[in-house]
Amino acid sequence: MIQKVLLFLLPLLLFSCKEDQKDTEQPKETRLIFKPEFDGLDAFMNYRQKVEARKDLKRLPSLSFTHKTGYSLQSVAFLDPKGEILKATLDQIDTNGHKLTYTFYFLKEVLSMAQVIDEQLRLSNLQYKETFYFYNANQSPIACYTRKVVNGKQSPYLSKAPDSKENQTIEDCLQMLSNMQNQTAQFSLSFQGFDEAFNKKFVQFGNDYYSTNLAYAPTDPMIIGFEKNPEAFKNQTFTIQFQDVQEASGLQYQVLTDIQAN
């Protein structure tokens, strides 16, 4: 059973980098074909389309994390003006170009459906596997559909029996997403050192498994303290506030805007 893990998204979400979704027209989605359909499928898909069409959602990205083995992770939560989560995404990309994209849809902050896209970014042809999972109000899976897309050729989604291992993966990803947004558990942050790249200075936070790098202002009092006596902060964890930056050159990174000792 999928647990209601996103209800405890902490106030960190409210002071993280907040941006309105870009005010662009959403293309009308071609009706997806599911075989065989289950009763209520249209209600799920109509709700998904309404969420995707909304332009008043706050986009709250997590820090961008790198695992010690090299793969990268980042999540984004989308909240309505009342602060209710309607959608969330989790992207994982490994060093071989294998990308997993999880998209979760929530109704009254309860998981309603999940979409998983499994693709290999280094393939010359357009090829990926896509799976939908549907859940009832008790968070139990009621249907699962999957299809493969090769060279852009669309095919129907074929029903398959819900798999307990896959359901556990969905639950684990939801918990991971919550921890990323709140910078807790495996994503708790300690000071790890400094680095330079692209003519910019970066400070690194993380733990034995995950790390994140942020550009910073050399005049930040906490940064000055790190530079003077890094050992004094060895066992301290921090909560980070930041902004996403994309330069005209295409360079993307995150900038430290505030830091608080836990």
| Residue 216 binned pLDDT confidence (cut-offs 50, 70, 90) | very high
- pTM score > 0.85 for this model? yes
- Is 239 within 8 Å of 214 (Cβ atoms)? no
Compute how many other C-beta atoms are within 10 angstroms of the C-beta atom of residue 196. 8
The pLDDT tens digits for 91-139 are: 999 999 999 999 999 999 899 999 999 999 887 678 899 999 999 998 8
| Residue 12 binned pLDDT confidence (cut-offs 50, 70, 90) | very low
The pLDDT tens digits for 38-73 are: 999 999 999 999 999 999 999 999 999 999 999 999
For residue 240, give both structure tokens: 């980070």
Of residues 246 and 9, more confidently modeled: 246
pLDDT attached to residue 2 = 54
- Is 216 within 8 Å of 256 (Cβ atoms)? yes
Q: Is 87 helix (H, G, I), strand (E, B) or coil?
A: strand
Q: Is 96 helix (H, G, I), strand (E, B) or coil?
A: coil
Give me the chain's average pLDDT, please: 88
Q: What are phi and psi of 185, to 5 degrees?
A: 55, -125
Question: Distance between CA atoms of 138 and 176, rounded to whole angstroms?
Answer: 21
Name the residue ranges covered by the structural domains of the chain: 5-182, 188-261
